Amino acid sequence: MFVETIKSDGLAHLSYLVGSEGVAAVIDPRRDCQIYIENARKRGCRIDYVFETHRNEDLVSGAPLLARLTGARVCHGPNAAGDVRYAETTHEGDRYTIGQCRIEVLETPGHTDDSLSFALFDDETGGDAVGVFTGDALFVGDVGRTDFYPDRATEVAGLLYDSLQKLFALGDQAIVYPAHGSGSVCGDGMASREFSTLGHERRSNPSARIRDRDTFIEKKLAEHHDQPPYFRLMERLNLEGAEGFEEEMLRPPILQAEEFEDAREQATVVDVRGIADFIGAHMPGSLCLPEDMVTAFAGWLLQADEELMVVAADLPQAQSTLRHLYRIGHDRVRGMLLTPISGWASGDREFRQLAVVDREEVARRVAGQPEDWSLLDVRDANETAEGVIPGAQTIYLGNLPEHIDALDRSQRITVVCESGARASIGASLLLREGFRNVDVFLGAMGAWEESGGDLADGR
Amino acid sequence: MFVETIKSDGLAHLSYLVGSEGVAAVIDPRRDCQIYIENARKRGCRIDYVFETHRNEDLVSGAPLLARLTGARVCHGPNAAGDVRYAETTHEGDRYTIGQCRIEVLETPGHTDDSLSFALFDDETGGDAVGVFTGDALFVGDVGRTDFYPDRATEVAGLLYDSLQKLFALGDQAIVYPAHGSGSVCGDGMASREFSTLGHERRSNPSARIRDRDTFIEKKLAEHHDQPPYFRLMERLNLEGAEGFEEEMLRPPILQAEEFEDAREQATVVDVRGIADFIGAHMPGSLCLPEDMVTAFAGWLLQADEELMVVAADLPQAQSTLRHLYRIGHDRVRGMLLTPISGWASGDREFRQLAVVDREEVARRVAGQPEDWSLLDVRDANETAEGVIPGAQTIYLGNLPEHIDALDRSQRITVVCESGARASIGASLLLREGFRNVDVFLGAMGAWEESGGDLADGR
Amino acid sequence: MFVETIKSDGLAHLSYLVGSEGVAAVIDPRRDCQIYIENARKRGCRIDYVFETHRNEDLVSGAPLLARLTGARVCHGPNAAGDVRYAETTHEGDRYTIGQCRIEVLETPGHTDDSLSFALFDDETGGDAVGVFTGDALFVGDVGRTDFYPDRATEVAGLLYDSLQKLFALGDQAIVYPAHGSGSVCGDGMASREFSTLGHERRSNPSARIRDRDTFIEKKLAEHHDQPPYFRLMERLNLEGAEGFEEEMLRPPILQAEEFEDAREQATVVDVRGIADFIGAHMPGSLCLPEDMVTAFAGWLLQADEELMVVAADLPQAQSTLRHLYRIGHDRVRGMLLTPISGWASGDREFRQLAVVDREEVARRVAGQPEDWSLLDVRDANETAEGVIPGAQTIYLGNLPEHIDALDRSQRITVVCESGARASIGASLLLREGFRNVDVFLGAMGAWEESGGDLADGR
Amino acid sequence: MFVETIKSDGLAHLSYLVGSEGVAAVIDPRRDCQIYIENARKRGCRIDYVFETHRNEDLVSGAPLLARLTGARVCHGPNAAGDVRYAETTHEGDRYTIGQCRIEVLETPGHTDDSLSFALFDDETGGDAVGVFTGDALFVGDVGRTDFYPDRATEVAGLLYDSLQKLFALGDQAIVYPAHGSGSVCGDGMASREFSTLGHERRSNPSARIRDRDTFIEKKLAEHHDQPPYFRLMERLNLEGAEGFEEEMLRPPILQAEEFEDAREQATVVDVRGIADFIGAHMPGSLCLPEDMVTAFAGWLLQADEELMVVAADLPQAQSTLRHLYRIGHDRVRGMLLTPISGWASGDREFRQLAVVDREEVARRVAGQPEDWSLLDVRDANETAEGVIPGAQTIYLGNLPEHIDALDRSQRITVVCESGARASIGASLLLREGFRNVDVFLGAMGAWEESGGDLADGR
């Protein structure tokens, strides 16, 4: 019996391949699902089952594709939004045999109404559950968010509390296999450690260790979570089942500079090189969205069916980006440019440098309070609640497209975040929208606090 | 914080890379230790510590090489046999910081006097131990053997009992990271599952769940374990520190058939192809030792400083064999032959076929009880205790070189094991020693029992 | 400008990726065509053209799939059998620009009527052709076979002569890029060297260096070539265009022994392990066809739409076999067994050993001339023409299914080839057909000649 | 028989593995020589010979290491500077057998006095040479430089002419295997095509096709080549034989930002990220030297025994850099920083942006002729001879350290090259030396010429 973790960076999504004696099951497959087929095959296993802990809202499920490719049955919890088309419904207490493993279903609503957990037993050694796949109910260091049903907020927070008690009843010894790790938008407080047990979480998890139902509900209601607009798309796709094979996602052509220049008029140019590259020189009008931040912000900053052109430093970076985009449903990449910006410029094509300022310059401005200058902090509400630079205006980067009119275009705007990365994305958004006078505080809050700069209330 | 398991197939040896914030430690490194350096580097970590749970007797420690290559400190328990030359001594309660991890030393003697366990704490989340590296004290489904000090048998079994209670005091929630998995010679009862927790083992492990010290001692004293002769070599090497880089082990030349033929006089020819290959056709005088059985039997059947020649089906098989041999101290491979046996034979060179018999033929012979025939069962004592074919003589394969004179060379001998694999190795040994009339029962006890054949007492 | 050779082992098929400045062309793609897309992409190129030197008869063309996946144009010569559905027709003198490369079409019939060669010029350096893709017109050390139009034998041999002169007119300096290398069924005399020039071939190629048209024709007419029956299937597929993506070919399930046993009734069991494995122990009724001989003999010994089950030593061997089969149109593999034969046998399932004899035993039989014994030589006509063991009957292995009734089932039959490999395949065929008394001369003609055995006329 | 090309990017160095029937030879191995051992092994070959076409001046020879690891004999030409310590001397006409290959030595001096070529014959097919390893005598599209003996310039140019005639006598059909491809400092005119024949070069190579000895000498004497200062080091190392295994080069630790900050005082910080990254933000005082330009400029800009610290975008980029540095003898890398510059800055550490200007701005300045501004063109003499921007001062980037005092520190200096890449390196050098007012023309001569800008005489 084995449990293999397949992690998707960016999304911090965790899926699992469980197997024994030639049979395997996959829990929460991602869309690029060849990896499950290959890994099962390497272990001499056939995939008989796909279990979904819930209808994911932050990524496209690979369950329908995987079922089509392997003939596996897909098991999903009862869903009020209607039946998941590619799945059969499974309920509390249902049992599935995978060689010497036994999977037992626990209904653990709260994060969503259809949330299931799957307890894992080993018939070879017997005894209590050896592990449990907890989906978005319980993470290492956090519990699932409960903000998806605003009008039933108290009820669903309570449901999650009850679900956690049901999980803990499996015993301290059970290893926890959650659907997300540190870095996911599905929870803020996850530990960087990727393994834990019910016993450890029962005593050390700041939320899960709460022994009083009302206190727990109160804590959950006080939390703030952002909801990227692409969640709506994911929910629809994960009800219907998404089409499209992963082999197709590597197809967009690599264009020469002149071809790219011609084609970019009809599309959004996404520059996925590093932050420093974008600052150094970039194509006018392009959106700064470094490859390692694509999963975090594409769902906020790109439209579902937007046509995209990708600027990357090299092919691996471009392909990694394509994979990230595919996982969240962005299939419409029309071409890629891998030419370095010096090559682009040597064809007498336009480029822009993004102005950056350092901590000393920002301190000078803050002290001088110039009338034609404003400071825009694009960190999220949890971060800005810890304090902001005096005078800063706060708009979370994800919400910037929606709230852009709140900014004064006549002013010089300095964008700030924790290190300067998200600030650069924000600055590129402003420049795309026609703002003329934008710079980025590189080093940002990290440098500000390191140097003992004053903080104002950011709530 | 991460824990990465590095498994060595064959030995079923488990070692670990633990790290956090740019620093890493290795627990029980194997001799081919580049993998730790590479994996640490991929995670952006420097290896600062090497921890040894005990002086291994079944493999060559990679600690001295790894320390030389990285500058890491090696920590080993107090050793009555004298100081481990490449290590510093660590004691109960000593603590080591690895980024946000904390390692705490527990003295857990019993398997050996110098056995340590290392409890793992996460300073990021706090709370109880998240895991424990148990060495050969506690496995998934079994506990360490206690037969290495025959004159102190009761004492050390009791020490192990006490050590287990010390481990369980860490709490049910701690994940167990043992030094061996299923298939190791260090325990018979290990589960095929590769993960567990103290809580699961405390309740489900047939030995560790015993709550009475005397009952536990009694059970340990009743166990039978074999001690391959190479254990002595390993113990010496692991006190002094073994030399030799893994790059060197891939050096032996690939020989042409004529070169091989000339060179084989001074060496033992080890045929590491599959069982069916050896049965089909092999070089006279060669030892059958399939690549996937090298680690299990090389320590029994080969001398420490024996010069070896390897016959393999292809380069990957040969290289995998070399790696296995290197891990247990066999560095003297003089050359390899990758030519298929048909090519060997087409040079008008001698070959032999190994005779096999099937279940019906064996049943006929058992029924007929021919005087000039005997049946040799080479399974181990725990297996033969479950029953043997009536009339079978039992000598464990590992002990066959030592007890070969107990066999009657004038008879036809049929060798049997569970499936026919170990029997083929045994038959090749007899043929090397000049036995003329040897065959193998292919299918063996598996087929015998499947067909409902009679069983006699094999104890 | 680059030329990259993609070689398909087994078929000894050579295809090429040619590119310059972001554009590429493929010459004679094989069916598993992802490799061209990937390699072009790594070099930053888009595939604009697929050139076919002729309609291949020994493998399935990848041109239609590659065109579908990339949008490339497929260029094929004028074909009397009707238009190749997925291609446009190109003619003598047509020119294609690929960055700084220039491809010029030469009609070089003889091997087939639609045979083209493609001369390669480099506009960067200028001058004469730097290379030429010769298809099956000219190989390193041989020229194409001209036996496909038996009623026009003299005419097409003469056409090939003329085509060679047209090629040589390109100049000695041009590098030769043929469609096949040593080991192909498309020529017997190819050199093991994989590179040459027109100059070297013009002077050293035993056929191409002939300066007299009639002598050349005479030599070609005297040649003997075998035509595997699957050539017909290939020709049809390569007119219509074959369906099926290579990802699909890795799909057949790995079966457990009991599943395999149940399923094998409806299919042909092909044992692709090595020769010695098959000799050692195999499933009754299975066809011996080692993975490295699949391409050579599957086209002779398997029917076009036969359902297959594969027995392999491990997954890489099974997957390599599937790839070979896919390349020649065998898409119907129903399952694979990776269990070793000892495991198969331990389930009390039937197995067989294949009897082998050595040179001394064969010499004894030849000397004794037993009446109930015959010797079957399965080498090809060119080989047996060099001499056979006295008394041997000759039937080429490929023709054995067709001529099996020429053999006397009442006799003991010893099968011989060069080393024993093809003989084992032949023996497995006889055993499948119900012959009872079959053995294989391992070492075979190699050993016979090495020991100075007598030879009889085998023509 | 096979010839495998091993190309080292950056150096554009070509080495070869030649083999037949289990034996292989390497021509001109590079220092990281494990690749030859591995590739030979994959082909079932033992390396018996290492042939050196001459004592390389642009890279560290791997011959001594390879000989030590394999036991191969190293063959080198007669060397006036004294015996190459790790080699035996070979002469015109010496022959070496490698299976069915035959290597024959031709003395082909001119580039160096000890230059050899190695003609390759195939005993299987017979006939004229199939190829020739030409070292630095003949390239695809160019011939070797002859500027290493300034006081014998006419003599050695004539020697090269004679050597070329000796090569051409092998016949048009021979494939040319040179020691360098396009991009090497060993020749300016090499074609981007990587394959050719004597016939093609004899007629199309601008230098080699010259049929008059004096004209050839005249052309060679008129050439300009730069000699990086590290050539002296290479010559010494390649007489004595360099130590150090390639495994060691991957050892330098990955440092955290604070560790890096502490350590950098004693070392030169080399920033190997892309040009745009450096422009965007970099560590003050660091040298811009992108990973793909390390081999071209490290030999000019770094001292032989300089201690280095490397700033890279990620581990693969850092490791590729280390490999490049190792190949040219830079073994003293003390540590690496992989932290992004935003992370560096968020620790309140200093950073700098490099100012860039576009074509319009440069045009404005050229038109305005400001007194406090100068334009520095760092392209090489062959490039600037084609024309420069009016008013530009020319100093080749490689010579900039030596001629830095020719620049006026009081002025604003704009650096220009072809695209802006080398200009950025030059600008970083000036900034390191304390220049305050430096910017880079991004797009550079490419953009200037694309827009029809005026050109002045740059000779």
Choose among A273, A342, A442: nearest Cβ to D421: A342
Q: Which of A191-195, A209-213, A319-323, D62-66 has the lowest mean pLDDT?
A: A191-195
CB-based burial, D295-334: b 16+ in 10 Å, e otherwise: bbbbbbbbebeeebbbbbbebebbbbbbbbbbbbbbbebb
Residue C449 three-state SS: helix
Listed as own residue / partner, the contacts of A149-157 with beta carbons closer than 8 Å and 24 or more positions apart are: A149/A113, A153/A220, A153/A221, A154/A217, A154/A221, A156/A109, A156/A110, A156/A111, A156/A113, A157/A110, A157/A216, A157/A217, A157/A220, A157/A221
In angstroms, the Cα distances linking B30 to A328, B57, B241, D118 are 41, 12, 12, 45
CB atoms A204 and B131 under 8 Å:
no
Nearest CA in chain B to D255: B22
Interface probe for B, chosen from A125, A190, A198 (most Cβ of B below 10 Å), is: A125
β-pairing, B13-20 vs B2-8, is antiparallel
Instruction: Give the pLDDT band of residue B81 (cuts 50, 70, 90).
Output: low
pLDDT of residue D81: 66
Hey, is the C-beta of C197 within 8 angstroms of any chain D C-beta? yes
DSSP codes joined into one string, C110-171 = SSSTT-EEEEEEETTT-SS-SEEEEETTB-SS-B----S-GGGHHHHHHHHHHHHHHHHTT-
Nearest CA in chain C to A259: C22
* Residue A191 with chain B: CB contacts under 8 Å: 1, 122, 124-125
* Residue B174 with chain A: CB contacts under 8 Å: 197, 200
> Per residue in C87-107, pLDDT tens?
999 999 999 999 999 999 999
* Residue A247 with chain C: CB contacts under 8 Å: 34, 247
Listed as own residue / partner, the contacts of C92-99 with beta carbons closer than 8 Å and 24 or more positions apart are: C96/C25, C96/C49, C96/C51, C98/C18, C98/C19, C98/C20, C98/C23, C98/C24, C98/C25, C98/C48, C98/C49, C99/C1, C99/C19, C99/C20, C99/C21, C99/C22, C99/C23
| Catalytic site includes residue B33 | no
* Half-sphere exposure (Cβ direction) of D91: Cα atoms closer than 13 Å: 0
How far apart are the CA of C174 and the nearest CA of chain A, in angstroms? Answer: 31
Hey, is the C-beta of B354 within 8 angstroms of any chain C C-beta? yes
Mean pLDDT along residues C120-146: 95
> Per residue in B282-327, pLDDT tens?
999 999 999 999 998 999 999 888 999 999 999 899 999 999 999 9
> Where do the H-state alpha helices sit in D43-182?
63-70, 153-168
> Per residue in D139-174, pLDDT tens?
999 999 999 999 999 999 999 999 999 999 999 999
Per the listing, tokens 């060495």 go with B135
* Residue C389 with chain B: CB contacts under 8 Å: none
> Per residue in C198-207, pLDDT tens?
999 999 999 9
Q: Which of residues 319-338 of C touch A (CB under 8 A)?
A: 338
Determine the longest span between alpha carbons in chain C, in angstroms.
73
Q: How far apart are CA A91 and CA A82, in angstroms?
A: 15
CB atoms C41 and A250 under 8 Å:
yes
Interface probe for C, chosen from B272, B277, B346 (most Cβ of C below 10 Å), is: B346
Instruction: Give the pLDDT band of residue B78 (cuts 50, 70, 90).
Output: confident
Q: How far apart are CA A238 and CA A56, in angstroms?
A: 7
pLDDT of residue D141: 94
Amino acid of residue D161: Y
CB B309 within 8 A of CB B227: no
β-pairing, C73-76 vs C88-89, is parallel
CB atoms C419 and B274 under 8 Å:
no
Average pLDDT, chain C: 93
CB atoms C351 and B343 under 8 Å:
no
Q: What is the CA radius of gyration of chain C?
A: 24
pLDDT of residue C244: 73
Amino acid of residue A204: S
Q: What is the CA radius of gyration of chain D?
A: 24
Q: How far apart are CA D299 and CA D145, in angstroms?
A: 18
Instruction: Give the pLDDT band of residue A251 (cuts 50, 70, 90).
Output: confident
Evaluated on CA atoms D170, D173, D176, D177, the torsion sign reads negative
**Per-residue DSSP letter, B377:** E
CB B181 within 8 A of CB B140: yes
Hey, is the C-beta of C254 within 8 angstroms of any chain A C-beta? yes
Q: Which chains touch C (3 or more CB pairs under 8 A)?
A: A, B, D
Mean pLDDT along residues D389-396: 96
Q: How far apart are CA A53 and CA A32, in angstroms?
A: 18
Residue A64 three-state SS: helix
**Closest Cα to residue A147, out of A204, A206, A219?**
A219
Q: Is the pLDDT of residue A404 over 90?
A: yes
Q: How far apart are CA C130 and CA B318, in angstroms?
A: 42
CB atoms B345 and C358 under 8 Å:
yes
Backbone angles phi, psi at C31, to 5 degrees: -65, -40
SS3 content of chain B, % helix, strand, coil (to 5): 35, 25, 40
Q: Is A4 exposed, middle or buried (0-12, 13-18, 19+ CB in 10 A)?
A: middle
Instruction: Give the pLDDT band of residue C62 (cuts 50, 70, 90).
Output: very high
Structure tokens belonging to residue C279 = 């000799």
Kindly give, in sequence order, each residue whose CB lies less than 8 Å from that of residue D95, ignoring residues fewer than 6 positions away: D102, D103, D104, D105
Number of CB atoms found within 10 A of residue C287's CB = 23
Q: Is the pLDDT of residue B188 over 80?
A: no
Hey, is the C-beta of B182 within 8 angstroms of any chain A C-beta? no
CB atoms B1 and A193 under 8 Å:
yes
Q: How far apart are CA B199 and CA A172, in angstroms?
A: 7
CB atoms A443 and D345 under 8 Å:
yes
CB atoms B2 and A191 under 8 Å:
no
CB B358 within 8 A of CB B439: no
pLDDT of residue B244: 73
Residue D46's DSSP bridge partners are D23
Which residue numbers of D are catalytic? 417
Kindly give, in sequence order, each residue whose CB lies less than 8 Å from that of residue A86, ignoring residues fewer than 6 positions away: A63, A64, A67, A74, A241
SS3 content of chain A, % helix, strand, coil (to 5): 35, 25, 40
Q: How far apart are CA A91 and CA A93, in angstroms?
A: 6
This prediction has a pTM of 0.89
* Residue D280 with chain A: CB contacts under 8 Å: 275-281, 353-354, 356
How far apart are the CA of A308 and the nearest CA of chain C, in angstroms? Answer: 19
DSSP codes joined into one string, A137-193 = TB-SS-B----S-GGGHHHHHHHHHHHHHHHHTT-TTPEEEESB-TT-TT-S---S-
Hey, is the C-beta of D203 within 8 angstroms of any chain C C-beta? yes
Hey, is the C-beta of A345 within 8 angstroms of any chain D C-beta? yes
Mean pLDDT along residues C412-425: 97
Q: Which of A263-267, A417-421, A447-451 has the lowest mean pLDDT?
A: A263-267
> Per residue in A255-279, pLDDT tens?
889 999 998 888 999 999 999 999 9
> Per residue in B108-157, pLDDT tens?
999 999 999 999 999 988 999 999 999 999 999 999 999 999 999 999 99
The complex's ipTM works out to 0.90
pLDDT of residue D338: 93
CB A351 within 8 A of CB A282: yes
Q: What is the CA radius of gyration of chain B?
A: 24
> Per residue in C326-374, pLDDT tens?
999 888 899 999 999 999 999 999 999 999 999 999 999 999 989 999 9
CB B450 within 8 A of CB C349: no
Per the listing, tokens 């093609």 go with D200
Q: Identify which has the larger pLDDT, A171 or D249.
A: A171
**Closest Cα to residue B435, out of B410, B417, B416?**
B410
Hey, is the C-beta of D193 within 8 angstroms of any chain C C-beta? yes
Q: Is the pLDDT of residue C187 over 80?
A: no
> Where do the H-state alpha helices sit in A292-439?
294-301, 315-327, 341-346, 359-368, 381-384, 400-403, 421-432
CB atoms C342 and B277 under 8 Å:
no
pLDDT of residue A189: 76
The dihedral over CA atoms of C209, C215, C217, C219, expressed in degrees to the nearest 10, equals -80
Ramachandran bin of D170, using left for φ above 0, alpha for ψ from -120 to 50, beta for the remaining angles = alpha
**Per-residue DSSP letter, C228:** -
Kind plus residue range of the DSSP H or E element containing D3: strand D2-8
Q: How far apart are CA D191 and CA C20, in angstroms?
A: 12
Amino acid of residue B276: A
Number of CB atoms found within 10 A of residue B36's CB = 26
Ramachandran bin of A213, using left for φ above 0, alpha for ψ from -120 to 50, beta for the remaining angles = alpha
